[in-house]
Amino acid sequence: MTSDSPALPTTHELRARALAGLGNLGVTVPEGGDFHARTPLTGENLFGLQAATAGDAEAAVADAHAAFLTWRSTPAPRRGELVRRLGELLREHKSDLADLVTIEAGKIRSEALGEVQEMIDICDFAVGLSRQLYGRTIASERPGHRLAETWHPLGVVGVVSAFNFPAAVWSWNTAVALACGDTVVWKPSELTPLISLACDHLLCRAADEVGAPRDVHRLLLGDRAVGERLVDDPRVALVSATGSTRMGREVGPRVAARFGRSLLELGGNNAAIVAPSADLDLAVQGIVFAAAGTAGQRCTTLRRLIVHRDIAETLVERLVAAYRRLPIGDPFDENTLVGPLISTASLDAMNSALARVQAQGGKVLAGGNRRLSQAAPRAAYAEPVLVRVDEQTDVVREETFAPILYVLTYDTLEEAIELHNDVPQGLSSSIFTRDQQEAEIFLSAAGSDCGIANVNIGTSGAEIGGAFGGEKETGGGRESGSDAWKAYMRSATNTINYSSELSLAQNVSFL
């Protein structure tokens, strides 16, 4: 079944808006190639661009490596000045950048502005970090000796990023890597080249203004073949790759084969447990934002709801009512809460998962219809779906990158935690409860097995101050705040003998 409303901007209007925004940012679009910028709002192409060639990738890594040799010896607080200037430019151009995020990734205005705010926040964090790259002093077992740990820049960081956080993920990596003394070559998603051109342009401008080498950052537009160049290049010391578990399975072993480092941020299959004592008003709000927000296209999107049997009926009733009221459509419209899926291929994947889960006994409780198909036949607007399931079948245990929320019930907390952890992914998790003991059990070693575990808040919408990432098939990487910076540096242990004796460790005697 299809329900339609024609109120969408045209591709022509979106092209004009993108060009105006890029113009305000000072970016000239290198039009004319057959690598297309497109918009999920109408599902149509905006411009033809030039993709990077193998030669471009080679030159970008060589230039970034040459810049690294200077940048690594630039005092860290001075490196922070580049990041500070980038943050200022992001503040200045917040609105135009958010427009590009909406046009290319389909995010509603408030989330697109939030994405740019996240970039600003990580710049602030990384500026502070540039004065806090602390190493430890360690007690030596030998008299007249000092042991110290020092942290040094690593080299060129290859950043490969996904479409759904087309700018924020870049900034988490880049702001921290630059403060740490690394240089960056970025291969963004093939679906979001315009916001990438804008970010690259602002960073180059910041570099010029503070007198940093231009090649501290290079951008390579293109598809996965361009990403593979970074993966296989031994001059790329760290490959930070964000995307599907499928991508991580290819990238991880290839980087390891050349003894490079990788930081993998992959798919999630996030769950929330709702306990009998939960504040249901809070839970409904948190669940709907986490499950339907960003049209279900966050790595941290809530995909499984594990509800205590005693409150399941009441909670489901309230969720069904909330789902029926969700405004779906033009993400530039301030009333819209759910924008488009990135492509009709995503819609096909959603429909296929729904067909499979229904064949396995799942029951659709709300949503699931396609919207606006007459106004924009190449676009994919879909109603977020609630599906009641009795068990975690193979479909439920997979990440379908679309707004499907599977609802399961439980009787004991132990059973809920077991269900919660019984998936291959381990990114984000939460529990809604007013029982402190339950909350603490969920957060303990025997509780959630995820990299992110929350109480009385949904699974999505992390702040930059904490380390971000997950376990198991989510890849194990940590980015952004806390001490995630250590992945972008190498440590050296120094033993300094300031005595006149040569004493050997473990009391070994020799000569």
Report how far residue 432's alpha carbon sits from residue 287's, in angstroms, rounded to the nearest whole number.
Answer: 10
Q: In what order do the strands lie in the sheet with 302-308?
A: 363-366, 385-388, 404-410, 302-308, 270-274, 428-432, 452-455
Q: Which of 299, 383, 399, 450 is catalytic?
A: 299
List strand residue ranges (DSSP E) for 145-260, in order. 145-153, 156-160, 183-187, 217-219, 236-242
Q: How far is CA 186 from the centre of its chain?
A: 14
User: H or E element: which one contains 330?
Assistant: none
Q: Mention every residue, 6+ apart, whose C-beta is less than 8 A from residue 493.
A: 138, 147, 148, 149
| CA dihedral for 356, 361, 366, 369, sign (positive or negative) | positive
In angstroms, give the least distance from the CB of 138 to ligand NAD.
33
Q: For the beta carbon of residue 204, count every other beta carbon within 10 angstroms.
A: 18
| CA dihedral for 46, 11, 340, 19, sign (positive or negative) | positive
Q: Mention every residue, 6+ apart, whose C-beta is less than 8 A from residue 313.
A: none
Report how far residue 165's alpha carbon sits from residue 148's, in angstroms, rounded to the nearest whole number.
Answer: 38
| CA dihedral for 157, 168, 10, 290, sign (positive or negative) | positive
Which residue number, 299 or 385, has a Cβ lying nearer to ligand NAD? 299
Q: Mention every residue, 6+ apart, whose C-beta is less than 8 A from residue 219.
A: 60, 185, 186, 188, 196, 197, 200
Active site residue 265: yes
Report how far residue 126's alpha carbon sits from residue 206's, in angstroms, rounded to the nearest whole number.
Answer: 15
Active site residue 115: no
Binding residues for ligand NAD (CB under 6 A): 160-165, 169, 187, 189-190, 223-224, 227-228, 231, 242-244, 247, 250-251, 265-268, 299, 399, 401, 427, 474
Q: Which of 44, 81, 115, 265 is catalytic?
A: 265
Which residue number, 259 or 498, has a Cβ lying nearer to ligand NAD? 259
Report how far residue 407's alpha carbon sits from residue 65's, in angstroms, rounded to the nearest whole number.
Answer: 50
Which residue number, 299 or 439, has a Cβ lying nearer to ligand NAD? 299
| Count, residues in the chain | 511
* Cβ atoms 147, 493 nearer than 8 A: yes
Report how far residue 370's alpha carbon sits from residue 334's, in angstroms, rounded to the nearest whole number.
Answer: 21
Question: In this structure, are strands 156-160 and 404-410 parallel, antiparallel, or unpaired?
Answer: unpaired
Q: Which residues are catalytic?
A: 265, 299
